[in-house]
Amino acid sequence: MPNKSHIGKSALVTGATSGIGQATAYALADAGAHVLVVGRRRELGEQVVSKIQEAGGTASFYAADMRSTSDINSMVETAVSLFGKLDIAFNNAGIFDRMNDFHTYSDDSWDDMLTVNLTGVFRCMRAEITAMLTTGGGVIINNASTVSHRGSHRAGPAYVAAKHGVLGLTKQAAIQYVHHNIRVNAVSPGPTETPVAAPLISQGPEAVAAALSALNPTGKFISPQAIAQAVVYLTSDVASMVNGSEIVLDGGQLALL
């Protein structure tokens, strides 16, 4: 039986043109939500919208860059204008860099990573909370990471610092707005089957297992659809008492630490 837990709700998803964001846009629409698909790549975003509409859902595309405060504010204003309110926001957009040593890490790399992955999330939350305060509340989910809890041999220092910060923003907003009917939580994925992982995946299951088994006890990538379903759960009424928390999707990675 189809899950229609989100009928009548409105949602926006950033970074929704591929990977985790795309899967979440589909999952929220399948659950009945009206979805604003947000990303920088218009052609891909409109393809996501078309697929949702073909399946009988409601969706629109909005082009926004998480480096731009005006884009972020307009994104939220557009969601409210289209749907009358903002019930759900999934702050998923982010960028990744490979491991760079502290002593060679540039100011430009630091500034760019923090601007998108931390400041961008803060600005999204600020605009979303402002809208939700005027329309009766809502739920915000931030995409953190397992590196919100540890260091990384794969990611650079700015990425790790930003993801720690995202978890902090999640907890801070959760306690500040709980009495305004606004819940704030996070999902923290381990290595995920996104386009970034395509070169490794193309080498086959044995290569994937060899690369991941030291981190993930399953030796497998996390699927974007699994993360999307966690977001659907956290934004549903059955999760009404989940606030300032996170769902870690890592196959047991953090349990090994």
Domain-wise residue ranges, the chain: 10-197+224-250
Residues serving a catalytic function are 159
State the pairing for strand pair 138-143/88-91: parallel
Mean pLDDT over 88-93 rounds to 98
pLDDT at residue 257, rounded to an integer = 66
Distance from chain centroid for Cα 146: 13
Q: Decide which of 99 and 76 is more confident.
A: 76
Mean pLDDT over 140-163 rounds to 91
Mean pLDDT over 228-237 rounds to 98
- Kindly tell me the burial class for residue 90, based on how many C-beta atoms sit within 10 Å of its own C-beta (0-12, 13-18, 19 or more): buried
Q: List the single range of 50-54, 103-107, 134-138, 153-157 with lowest mean pLDDT.
A: 153-157
Q: Which CATH superfamily groups domain 10-197+224-250?
A: NAD(P)-binding Rossmann-like Domain (3.40.50.720)
- Give the chain's mean pLDDT: 93
- pLDDT-based confidence at 152, cuts 50/70/90? confident
- Global pTM value: 0.94
What are 181-203's pLDDT values in tens digits?
999 999 999 888 877 777 777 78
